[in-house]
Every structure is written in structure tokens, then in C-alpha cells.
Amino acid sequence: MISGKDNNRLLQLLPIPPDVTKRLDALILAGEAAGARPGRVGLGDGWWARRSPIGGTVLFDHETAPRRWAQFDRNGTLHAVLRWQRPSSLQSGTLAGDVPLQELAWARVRVPGGGWLEIEPGSASHPIWGRSDRLIDAESGKTLARLAAQDYGRLSWIPPVDHPAAIPAGGGEAVINLLAALMADQGRESVKYRGPYPTHQLFDALCRSFTPTEIDRDARERFCNGELSQAWAGEMEPSPVRWAPRPWEPLTPAPGVEVRLRAGDCVEIDTVWVGRVPFRRAERHEGRLPCGERVWIAPSPGKAAATRYHAGLVMLGEPYKNFLTLDGGGNIIEDRRPTGRRVVSGPPLTSVWHDLVFAWSALHSTPPLASSVMALRGSVPLRWAALPLRLAHDNGNELLVNSGLANQYRRLLPGHERAKLGLLLISDVLQGLASLIRARARMALERRRPVPRPEALTREARRALTEAGERVAKAAPLVLRAVAAGEAVVAGEAVAAGEA
């Protein structure tokens, strides 16, 4: 049934007749039973609900122009609520009652780890795209970001957001998914992003709620081409990549856990959020899993065995810790989440590690970003730490990398070639820290005033990339020898001693 005081409080803000609420509650309660059928269910008074194959329920009204009002998972947890109103330009009169509620008054989406993000249409302005919708922290009322104003009753493009880093983790993806769901409701086959921020992070976020309409190996490159110059120029040109809506469905199987699923030929688990840490689905490539916070399919003892998923940390190509085991429907089978979230700091990474990490991050950045990455090299400390849930973390003062890498190195060393295993450890450190470094560098670059001219950026990039290449060539052999000699293992033991 509909669960939680928060749910009831939000639903009371909608003009749902009491009898409809009772029928909706009964429908959701029935959905918890095995064998509940997906499809459309009438609730009376022009209201109806659509139950998905996964078991979630979406509330709609109106027959000719249906609008979604609320989305529940199969356990009755509310994940999105929308309040529609008649167009503000419509004068009151005898025909008002016949006009569909097609203008969005406000909407809220649940944020992983707790809280709500509110969309307030047309309440702000932006120097690049003008009229804007505000994204607000629903509890504090603080404006976090602005997106280009949308006609939510007739969505036709994906809007830009000006400060995505200010949005709580997972909140931006929840907003994108709501847009994708509304577009699917409205029968949109494909749309384009239109805005000045075609970043790699946005591409990844869009891929979770949309899919490119053409099989295109170069879709990422075409989408992100010229991302920084486009941002400074404030260009609102549409991206060349077309996206088809493919929204995921949320499920909260336990407090502090959100599973994002997608129905197709079979149910797929896309992401598992543990608090505000996302564990992304991953597949083995050349026998190895990608490092980081991951969801992977457990090896099955036979073809008839039910699918099992693990959410945990992957290091050196193999699982390191499993925090959750789930069945194919997203239900928790085993919960091993750490009870404490305390970070235990260890020794800093040595100067050669420091040189390698920043230089490698610069070489794997866009040219304009490379100089900003190298500029951070002397001001951002790097440290080993015992991190409960993450491979790497930015605590605001320094960047931390999980000392469990050393434990995994030591565990896998028997039966493995020391040099190859050392390269995997180095690769995981670089990949874990590089995204955090690039995020800092991007923010620093966007704050630069006056805005650098393209020719100046080109000169800076060339110098930075030349320096980065020289530093990688010098530092990489030294780091590999240090790892082979056990330097990383010693660091891991130092952290373990502090943790004890």
C-alpha cells in the first residue's frame, strides 16, 4: 500500500478524490501479491493507473490527454509527484472545465539517500537561455540549479542545466528520467539535447534514461565535440545525436537502498544506490570487471539457476567486497552494508605517485582541460584511506583512494604475474582519481575570469600536454617498481593499523 507520512503529505497536495486514493491504495497493495498483472486499471472519476511489468504504478488522469501525477514502486514508495494546472493564459469561463490540466505547476522527484528535488517551472532567468525552471532542495527551499524552461505537456528536447555539481548525487539523473518518462507518455520517438554543456558526464547520464536512436560507435565523440568552447560561447545549438526515451523504474527494497530497473525481454538492473553512492552495472571484458562501484551478475551454478546480482567494489579486475546480493527483480537476498561510514586516513601518496596521477589525468582529458588539471597538481593532496563504499572520494580538502587496493593486490598475487598485477593496481588508482581531478579542473576552468581566448587555451593545452607526457614517462617506471617492491601494500597495512 502507499507507505510513509511523506507520501501521504505530498499526495494531499494533489486534487485526487478520496475514493480514487482508496482505490489506488488497494491497487498498490494488490501489486505486492505474486502474479499481479501489468496493464491499465480504471480508478473512476477520470483517473486511471498503469502497472508496469516490474510492478510499479503510475497515476494518470484524463483520457484524451493523459498526464502522470505520481509514480510508486511496487512496495508503495512514492518516487515522483507532479501537480498540473490549466494554462495560466487561459481566462476562467464556461469552457475551463473541459480543458485538460496541461501546464506543470511543480514536480518533485526522490533523491537517493533521502530528500526531494523540486522543479519550479518558469520561475527564474538565465543569461544564456533566458526563461528558466528552478531546481530546488525541497526541504530548505534553496535553489540549486536552473534548466532551460520547458513545456512539460509537450516536451520536444532535452534542456541544459547550469550547475549540475550543486545537485545532490542521483538527483540530476532522477530529473532526466522524469523527462524521459514524460516524453514516453507523450509518444516522443526521439529528441535532441539543446544546450551549451554537452559533457561526458551528461552523455553517461542520458544513456541511463535514453538510448541513441542509431547504432553509432562515435556517438559519444560527436555529442561531446567542443564541449568547453561551446560552454564559453553559450551556444544553444542542438546536438547531432538523437535520443529515444527509455526510462528506468525505481524500487526501494530497503531503507537507504534504491534499485533502478528496466523492463525488456527480461528485467535489467541498471544502478543500485547505497545511500548516495551509485553502483553501476558492469560486464566482464577480456575476463575482467571494470574497477569501482559496480553491479555484476554472480556466476550461476547451472542454466536453471536464478539470476543473482552483487553490488560492491571491484578492484584489479575482480570483486573485492560485496555489499548487497539481489535477485533478478531487485529484491535483497543478502545485506552486508557496512554499519559505520567512518573514513580512516592513511599515509599520503608519494611524490612520484602524485606526478603520475595528475599527468595521466591531463593526458586523458580534453586539451583545454589539460592545463587546468596540471594547475591543480601542487594544491590537491592525495592520500590512501579506508573508504567504506567507494574506490575514491573527494572530501573537499584532499582526494582519497581506497587502501583496499593493496589488500586486493596481496590477495591476488599468488598465481599472478607481479608486474601485470602491479599495472592493474596503478590503473585502478589512476581511473579512480582521474574523474575527481577532472571534476575539480572543470569547475576551476569555468570560473576563470576573464574567459580565456581560444588561441590562449590552445597554447596552454600544448604546454600542459607536453609537460604531462614527460612526467608520465618519468614517473610510471618508478611507481611500478615501488608497487612491485610492496610500497602500496605497506600503505594499506598502515591504514589497517589505524582502522584497528
With cut-offs at 50, 70 and 90, classify the pLDDT of residue 334. Answer: very high
Quick check: 67 pLDDT over 60?
A: yes
Q: Is 395 helix (H, G, I), strand (E, B) or coil?
A: coil
Q: What is the DSSP string of 291-305?
A: SEEEEEEPPPSSTTS
CA dist 103 and 300 (Å) reads 49
Mean pLDDT of the chain: 88
Query: In which residue are the cell numbers 512496495 written?
Result: 75
Rounded mean pLDDT of 101-114?
A: 91
Quick check: 94 pLDDT over 80?
A: no
Rounded mean pLDDT of 113-120?
A: 95
Report the pLDDT value the prediction gives residue 14, as an integer from 0 to 100: 92
Position 226: which residue type? G
Angle between helices 418-446 and 404-412 (to 10 degrees): 160
With cut-offs at 50, 70 and 90, classify the pLDDT of residue 95. Answer: very low
Domain residue ranges in the chain? 5-90+99-249, 258-335, 344-499
With cut-offs at 50, 70 and 90, classify the pLDDT of residue 300. Answer: low
pLDDT tens digits for range 244-281: 999 999 999 999 999 999 987 788 899 999 999 999 99
Answer yes or no: are the C-beta atoms of 406 and 488 closer than 8 Å: yes
Q: What is the DSSP string of 115-169?
A: -EEEEEEEEEEETTTEEEEEEEETTT--EEEEEE---TTS--EEPPBS-GGGSPT
Cβ-proximal residues to 188 (8 Å cutoff; 6+ apart), any chain: 155, 156, 245
Answer yes or no: are the C-beta atoms of 129 and 122 closer than 8 Å: no
Most confident of 80-84, 218-222, 445-449: 80-84
Lowest mean pLDDT among 214-223, 355-364, 453-462, 480-489: 480-489
Instruction: Select from 250, 257, 259, 298 the least CA-distant residue to 280.
Output: 259
Answer yes or no: are the C-beta atoms of 99 and 123 closer than 8 Å: no
Q: What is the DSSP string of 59-94?
A: EEE-SSS-EEEEEE-TTS-EEEEEEEE--TTPPPST
Report the pLDDT value the prediction gives residue 5, as an integer from 0 to 100: 53
